[in-house]
Amino acid sequence: MVPPSAILALPYPTVRLLPRAKPQAIRHGFPWVYANELVLDRRTKALTPGSFAVLEDPDRRPMGVVTVNPNSKIIARMMDADPSAVIDGAWIEARLRRALAHREALYDSPFYRLVHAEADGFPGVVIDRFGDLAVVQPNAAWSEAMIDSLVAALVAVTGVGSVIKNGSGRARRLEGLEEELVVAHGTAPVAPVPVRMNGATYMADVMGGQKTGLFFDQRPNHAFAAGLGKGGTVLDVFSHVGGFGLAALAGGATSALAVDGSAPALALAEAGAEAMGRGADFQARQGDAFAQMEALAGEGARFDLVICDPPAFAPSKTALEPGLRAYERVARLAAGLVKDGGYLMLCSCSHAADLSRFRSACTRGIGRAGRSGQIIYTGFAGPDHPMLPQLAESGYLKALAFRL
C-alpha cells in the first residue's frame, strides 16, 4: 500500500472513495466503483470520460489507477493496482502479450477470444481473433479514447493484418459512447471468414453479424452436444450461424434443423454446412423461435437432441423475473420436441440469472411439459473467456444438458 506521502509521485489526479464505501472489495480484486461510492466534487465531475486517476481510499491512501467516466453508473474501473502505473502503449502491449500467451497455450489455430474485458485486465474491452483479422469492441470510454494505441499494440503483438472496430451495443450506450463500425487497420474482408471449430466450419460475418460475428464462448458446449447428437437427429433453436447444429453434424449427427429469426444468420449456417460437405443434411427454418417450436410440436416432430441457445433474456436485475419466465417457456416448448431417452440442452448468457435460478427455471419448464429428466452436464464459457472471481458478470454463460 502506498502511503499518503507518496501522492506527489503519482502520475494522475486523484479521486476518493466515500467513507461508506468498502475499500476492501477493491483491494481484494473487485474492479468497479459505482457513482454512489465516490466523492463527486466539482473536480471529479469535470474529469474527461475515459481519463485516468489514482483512486484513494477514504483515508487518502492510494489504491491503484482507475479510468473514470463521470457519465456512467460505473464511474471508475480499476486499470492497475499499482498507483504509479502509466497507462500507455507499452502498458497495453504487455497485457496483450499476457493474454496472447494464454490463448496460444490453449489453441493450435488463431481463432479465439483474445481479450475478455476485466478478466484479462482490459476493462470494458473485448477482442476476438479470426486468424489474420481481429475485431475490437471498445465498450468503455478509456478504450474509445485510446483506440489508436490499442489497435497499434494489437497489430504489434499478434501481427494481424486487419482490425475491425465494432463500436455497437448496450454497453457502449451505458458509457455514453456513439455506435460506429469501421476498419481500424488494414482492409475489411470481402466475404464471411471461415472458422474451424470442433470439426465444423462456421462463417463469421465480422462486418454485419451479431457482436463480433461469431460466439467463441460456446466452443466446449458445442463439443459436448456433438457427442450427444452422434447418429441422431438434431434441432438447434436460436441457432445464429449454426453453432450447435453444425458441431453436431461434424460429430456424426444424421441431420440438423436450425431455427433462428435472422435470415442472414441462417444463410451463413447453410454456407457452413455446404463447406463441410453436409449441406444435404442441414435444413433451416426462419422465424420466431417460440412460434417455430410450437409449429414443430403441431407437426409431431421429435428429435434425438434439442438445443436452445437464446439471447440474454435477463441482461439486468430489473429484467430477471420476466427473463426467468422466458427461459421456463423455452424449456417447456423444447422438452416436448425431445424423443423419449433423448437429450435437451439449454443455455443462458444472462449474467443476472445465476446458475441456480436458471436451473430452476429450466426444471420447471421441463416439468410443465409433462417430462422429467436427469442433468448430465453443466457447462460454462471456454477458457478463452476467463472469469474474474470477484466479478460475477464475467461468468455469464451457463449450459445444462438433460436426458429426458
Q: What domains, with CATH codes, occur in the chain?
A: 4-80 (2.30.130.10), 89-185 (3.30.750.80), 193-403 (3.40.50.150)
Residue 21's pLDDT is 85
- Positions of the chain with pLDDT under 70: 1-9
Alpha carbons 382 and 1: distance in angstroms, whole number: 35
- Tens-digit pLDDT profile for residues 63-110: 999 999 999 999 999 999 999 999 999 999 999 999 999 999 999 999
Residue 7's pLDDT is 47
* Catalytic residue IDs: 349
Residue 3's pLDDT is 53
Those residues whose C-beta lies under 8 Å from the C-beta of residue 291, and which sit 6 or more positions away, are: none
Q: Which of 218, 228, 217, 219 is nearest to 376 (CA)?
A: 228
